[in-house]
Amino acid sequence: MITQQDVKYLGAECMLRRSSLRSQLLLAVALACCAILSTQVMIRYMWTLPQFSHLALYNDKLEIKRFKSVLQLQLKRLQNIAYDNAVWDGSYTKALARDQQWFKDNFMIGPSFQHLSINGLYFYDNEQQLLAGMSVDNNLQPITITMFSAPQDIPTKLLISTEEVQQNQLMPVSKTSFIKINDKPAVVISQSIAPSLEQGVSAGTLLLWHYLDSSFIGELMPLANDDIRIIDPAQESDIALHISTMLQTDDIQIKLWKNSLYLGVLGLDNQLLLVFAIPQSPRIYDEALFNPALSAGIAVSFLTLLLFYLYISRKLVEPVRHLLKTISYVNFSNDYSARANLRGHNEIHKLGRLIDQMFELVAQQQQKLTMKNRQLQDLSNTDALTGLANRRYLDEYLETLRNTVVNRKQPIAMLVVDVDFFKRYNDFYGHAMGDKVLQQVAIALQESTHRATDLICRYGGEEFVLVLENTSKEEAMVVAGNLCQAVEKLGIPHQTSAASKVVTISVGLAVKPADAIIEYETLFAWADAALYIAKDNGRNRYEVA
């Protein structure tokens, strides 16, 4: 059966759960995790990734500079070849003499092209007429280039005129141009033919050309031949928007597109001729916002906070909750025997032990108070002289019987006892002796009733009342007779009694039959009336109402 205290305790337990310190700690840990996650993401987004990106762009810039430098070195090599063969007294004198056979015999041979690693070599006199020339493919097989064989088809910008040499103070003039030869991009090196001392009028022009293809890249960077691509702008119209730099300029603006960097080459008409696609520098970092390192860091942070939460929960929250639960239980149940029994050395455990000591002290005080209250209760319900129940207890006892359903269905007998001529006894023997008589009579009454359900009380003065539960009229008459005999057998002298030479009693008896509804006040009145009849009939006897 759940009592009101149990309901209060359960309510306190629910309140304790709603205001759980553990929930607040868990919320704090969750907020800390969110703060750590936000901080790490913010740091990565605002600082780490931009720094890595800046470093990557710097490496991209170095990469394209490196390729550009290698490309310029290759062009420089071709320029040196042109210079060595054009600025030479042998070529100079033979060009002035227009000795075509000499040029054919000394230059127009396959091994020379293979050794020089070029695709074509042409000599023109100072009137821009072809002296000798030859072109080969990458397999050193001769090919015909109409543009170089017919002077009228050669772009004027490729040949060097005598006026250009004169404007250069008779010093050799060199040009590097990019054109398409047989619909393939190529580089053309133009060098004025001059004497070895470099000073003099031009004897003509030397043209040297090389395809800008995979073999050209292989000569530049053998290990990167498969990575670098050559793109025709006509095939990708948007490529011009993503070029980072031009070969002919120094400015570099890194633009990544399709994981590549793009270097453009302008032709004679200043139009985009071809584009080199260079792979971007390797990314040694993860560009994703949530990379494995960040995820691992977050996981470690969460694990650390979880361990912190478990530690705090075990060392602080659990003791506090246990202490609060114990205090709540004591508060709502008034059971000060409960103990927190905290084992530990921190302040919470010390507080728990102090509270246990306080509960122990309160329990001791409560026990003493209970004993005092019980003593007071006994004093308030007990006759001080005889040790029997007093009239107040009788009233409470009868009220309990009235409210008990079982007793309503049972017979109940009530006996009213009076010591015969007790006033005369007091006057003759004194009140002290009278008190002893009352004590002896009380003992005799107790010894004559043995059942736990028999109540004997001192009603007042020399009058006693007995209540016998579940006792019939016949049984009550036997008890009444025994009472009279027991007191008379005490043999207490009573010289002033008109009924006997010893102390005697008179008894009035009334019985409530089973299943009868009779108020106990009425039953007492009947028994009291029977007592007066017993007195009128000579005393030392009992009468039944």
Catalytic residue set: 462
Helices (H), 44-160: 49-86, 89-96, 100-107, 110-116, 146-149
Cα(32)–Cα(30) distance, integer angstroms: 5
Q: Is 196 helix (H, G, I), strand (E, B) or coil?
A: coil
Instruction: Give burial (CB, 10 Å; 0-12/13-18/19+) of 441.
Output: buried
Cα(539)–Cα(544) distance, integer angstroms: 13
Cβ partners under 8 Å of residue 342, min gap 6: 319, 322, 323, 348, 349, 352, 353
Strand order in the sheet with 412-419: 454-460, 463-469, 412-419, 505-512, 542-544
DSSP secondary structure, 258-327, as one string: TTEEEEEEE-TTSSEEEEEEEEPPP--S--SSS-HHHHHHHHHHHHHHHHHHHHHIIIIIHHHHHHHHHH
CB 263 within 8 A of CB 68: yes
Backbone angles phi, psi at 533, to 5 degrees: -65, -40
Cβ partners under 8 Å of residue 363, min gap 6: 336, 337
Other Cβ atoms less than 10 A from the Cβ of 196: the count is 12
Backbone angles phi, psi at 137, to 5 degrees: -85, -170
3-state secondary structure 29-69: HHHHHHHHHHHHHHHHHHHHHHHHHHHHHHHHHHHHHHHHH
Q: Is 19 helix (H, G, I), strand (E, B) or coil?
A: coil
Other Cβ atoms less than 10 A from the Cβ of 486: the count is 18
Cα(174)–Cα(164) distance, integer angstroms: 10
Give the tokens for residue 19. Answer: 């205001």
